[in-house]
Amino acid sequence: MLFFIDTANIEEIRESSTWGIIDGVTTNPSLIAKEGKNLVDVIKEITGLIDGPISAEVQEGSAEQMVEEAFGYARIHPNITIKVPMTFEGIKATKVLSGYNIKTNVTLVFSVAQALMAAKAGATFVSPFMGRLDDATGTDTAGYELLEDIRVAFDNFGYETMIIAASIRHTEHVKQAALAGSDVATIPFKVLKQMIEHPLTTKGLQIFRDAAKK
Ligand code: E4P
């Protein structure tokens, strides 16, 4: 299972990169805006920190506009993955970009039908949003079930499009993503830090520290 970090914050990416377990980065317009920086500057900086897919999102528009914008980002570094919105224009753009061997990540996916459209277009990644789906349905399993269903649908036909569990809110979502067979989880920095913690680990460490002093 690959772990991507879901952030545009350079300090978070820098710190997590030292752990040696981060395989890629996803950004989106909201994350970039939060940093008050320009997308191109941010992704250039990230390429120096993480050697793996780095998602840069194009603005929603016509397929031609999105492809044009994508070419600009793809020229920056071979690891750049173009995040494309789940629209018909986005699907057209994905098909064109896959023809140029430019990696794509179709985002804002909330159904198996949408995921299949992205896979048919040759998307490298598809991003079902767990947290937003759970929020919208008032459950804690809708995101999980969607991931499970997409896994079955892709495996039925041998689609190689990789599933990124996105919109992760807590460590339980990471567990659900793994159990559902997602290829990737893109995880916020805060949740990555929580993944190392367990009260019994903390307690056990204290017991061993005390023992070592004796
Ligand atoms: C995925 O690539 C998105 O950046 C992200 O996971 C969206 O999550 P949110 O629902 O917390 O905005």
pLDDT of residue 186: 98
Residues comprising the chain, all counted: 214
pTM exceeds 0.75: yes
pLDDT of residue 168: 98
Q: Candidates 5, 6, 173: which one to mutate for ligand 1, based on the most atoms within 8 Å of Cβ?
A: 6
Query: Which residue has its alpha carbon closest to ligand 1 atom 8?
Result: 167
Q: Which residues line ligand 1 (CB under 6 A)?
A: 6, 26, 28, 107, 127, 129, 131-132, 166-167, 186
3-state secondary structure of 25: strand
Confidence of residue 173 (pLDDT cuts 50, 70, 90): very high
Structural contact between residues 120 and 129, judged by C-beta atoms closer than 8 angstroms: no
Confidence of residue 201 (pLDDT cuts 50, 70, 90): very high
pLDDT of residue 24: 98
DSSP annotation of 208: H
Confidence of residue 156 (pLDDT cuts 50, 70, 90): very high
Q: Candidates 12, 28, 170: which one to mutate for ligand 1, based on the most atoms within 8 Å of Cβ?
A: 28
Percentage of the residues of the chain whose pLDDT score is greater than 90: 100
Query: Which residue has its alpha carbon closest to ligand 1 atom 9?
Result: 167
Q: Which domain, by its residues, includes 32? A: 2-213
Closest CA to 167 of 154, 182, 152, 179: 182
pLDDT of residue 182: 98
- Whichever domain contains 143, its CATH number is 3.20.20.70
Confidence of residue 92 (pLDDT cuts 50, 70, 90): very high
Structural contact between residues 161 and 197, judged by C-beta atoms closer than 8 angstroms: no
Q: Is 83 a catalytic residue?
A: yes
Q: Which secondary structure element, helix H or strand E, spans residue 172, and what is its range?
A: helix 171-179
Catalytic residue among 44, 83, 92, 214: 83
C-alpha–C-alpha distance, residues 6 and 4, integer Å? 6
Domain count, the chain: 1
54-84 per-position pLDDT tens digit: 999 999 999 999 999 999 999 999 999 999 9
* Cα of 129 from ligand 1 centre, angstroms: 7
Average pLDDT over the chain reads 97
Query: Which residue has its alpha carbon closest to ligand 1 atom 11?
Result: 167
* Cα of 32 from ligand 1 centre, angstroms: 12
* Cα of 210 from ligand 1 centre, angstroms: 42
Which pair of tokens denotes residue 62? 């016509």
- Average pLDDT of the segment spanning 25-40: 95
